[in-house]
Amino acid sequence: MLLVAFAVGTLGDGLLRRFAGRPIEAVRDVGGLVVAIAVVCCMPLALLQRANITIKFVQAFFGARAGSYFDAVASVAIEIVLGLIARQFFIYASALARTGDTTTMLSIRTAPFWFVVSAVLWIAVATQAVVVVQQMRTAFAPRAPT
């Protein structure tokens, strides 16, 4: 919904800029903040559906069992990196809150937007933890004798 509103605003901004010479300053002013929230909101679902990019060469060379171990290790690595990213966004939002950073034209405080981004990233961290548990179960599940 945010991206649709941003797209409509961008279209209106472009049309007004072209035909009236008067852009909609709010679009440019809060556009980056809106896009950041819209993009990060896709992450928890993408992680849960395992829609991230994966490379499956280990399974092709070493078999399904080795591939499932590698997937489990990769899931843990994603969890760690995602946790570090979420932490950094929280630190960034906190710094913006301390300094009272605002947008240029409308003087909207930017920290709340970045706290939302950080919160959604922490939700993604929790979601990835579910994926890690699933991957571990798959990797270490007893196999039927062949």
- Mean pLDDT split into 10-residue runs, the chain, 146 residues: 82 87 82 90 92 75 82 93 97 97 91 97 97 91 71
Q: Please report the pLDDT score of residue 91 as a whole number.
A: 98
Q: Please report the pLDDT score of residue 64 as a whole number.
A: 78
Return the number of other C-beta atoms located less than 10 Å from residue 110's C-beta.
20
Q: Please report the pLDDT score of residue 16 as a whole number.
A: 87
- DSSP for the chain, written as a single string: -HHHHHHHHHHHHHHHHHHTS---HHHHHHHHHHHHHHHHTTHHHHHHTT-S----HHHHHH-HHHHHHHHHHHHHHHHHHHHHHHHHHHHHHHHHHHHT-B-TTT--BSHHHHHHHHHHHHHHHHHHHHHHHHHHHHHHSPPPP-
Kindly report the pTM of this predicted structure: 0.84
For residues 27 and 8, the answer to whether their CB atoms sit within 8 Å is no
Q: Please report the pLDDT score of residue 14 as a whole number.
A: 87
Q: Please report the pLDDT score of residue 82 as a whole number.
A: 96
Q: Please report the pLDDT score of residue 36 as a whole number.
A: 92
Q: Please report the pLDDT score of residue 146 as a whole number.
A: 60
